[in-house]
Amino acid sequence: MVLNHHASTMADLSQICAYAKAGKQTATPESVDKKTVAPHGVIENHLWRVKRMDQLAEKTYLSLNHLVDLKHKHASILEASSARKQAENTLLQAQNTSRQADYAARQAASTAEQTTASVKQATATAQQGKTILMFTVVTIIFLPLSFMAAFFAIAIDSFPVNEKGKLAMSYVLKYMLSVSGAACIPFILVAFQQDRIIVLLTWVRENISDGFSGDLRMRRPRKYSNSSSATVNTDDSRYSRH
């Protein structure tokens, strides 16, 4: 702005100087052609530099805006890429979670199947145990009867036989049922109360072992005291002899 004002002032001054040199007293300074006035070189040079600086500043401004725009676009691309990677990672994690859930469901199903099989096996084992218990009871009942029947089948002279050489039914049943009942009833009770009998035997064994260990603890100090007193007595006797 200042240089333009100086340039216009110098142009007017140049017109006045040109008018004075022409010697035209009747003419006015406006009648002089401005094209014939030589421009001032220094001011024009400064004006050209200022215009060049304005152009460079505008170009730099546009370049900076373009660079900032490119930076923003690059940052947007990077954010989109990171968001895509995060989405892929989230998808992979979701897939892994679904696989783990499927594996856990399969394990739960297999565990349920194993539990069902274990329950069935336990039921079958219980049925087998009941069957074995039934056969055991039958064996306990009929084994003494078989023994007594075989015993009475032996030809012994002391048996009271009749005229036909056979034993009476009342005599055989009396001894067979009494001996078989006396032998069967305790074993049947043991078969049905096996758990309680095992607990009772364990308790008795522990009490016996505790009592035996307590007796040993009580006896050991006595032995030591007797031996120590004996050694003291022997030492006293030795000293008395000397």
Residue 64 lies in a domain: yes
Residue 65 lies in a domain: yes
Residue 229 lies in a domain: no
The burial of 18, by beta-carbon neighbours within 10 Å (0-12 exposed, 13-18 middle, 19 or more buried), is given as middle
Residue 130 lies in a domain: no
Percentage of residues in the chain with pLDDT exceeding 70? Answer: 69
Residue 71 lies in a domain: yes
Question: Which residue from 95, 10, 12 is spatially nearest to 46, judged by alpha carbons?
Answer: 10
What are 110-144's pLDDT values in tens digits? 999 999 999 999 999 988 888 888 888 888 888 88
Q: Which residues constitute the domain of residue 107?
A: 43-124
Indicate the pLDDT class of residue 19, thresholds 50, 70 and 90: low
Q: Is the pLDDT reported for residue 234 higher than 90?
A: no
In the chain, how many domains are there?
A: 1
**pTM for the model:** 0.40
Residue 62 lies in a domain: yes
Residue 58 lies in a domain: yes
Residue 12 lies in a domain: no
Contact between 37 and 14 (Cβ < 8 Å): yes
What are 32-91's pLDDT values in tens digits? 454 444 556 666 777 788 788 888 899 999 999 999 999 999 999 999 999 999 999 999
What are 97-119's pLDDT values in tens digits? 999 999 999 999 999 999 999 99
Indicate the pLDDT class of residue 230, thresholds 50, 70 and 90: very low
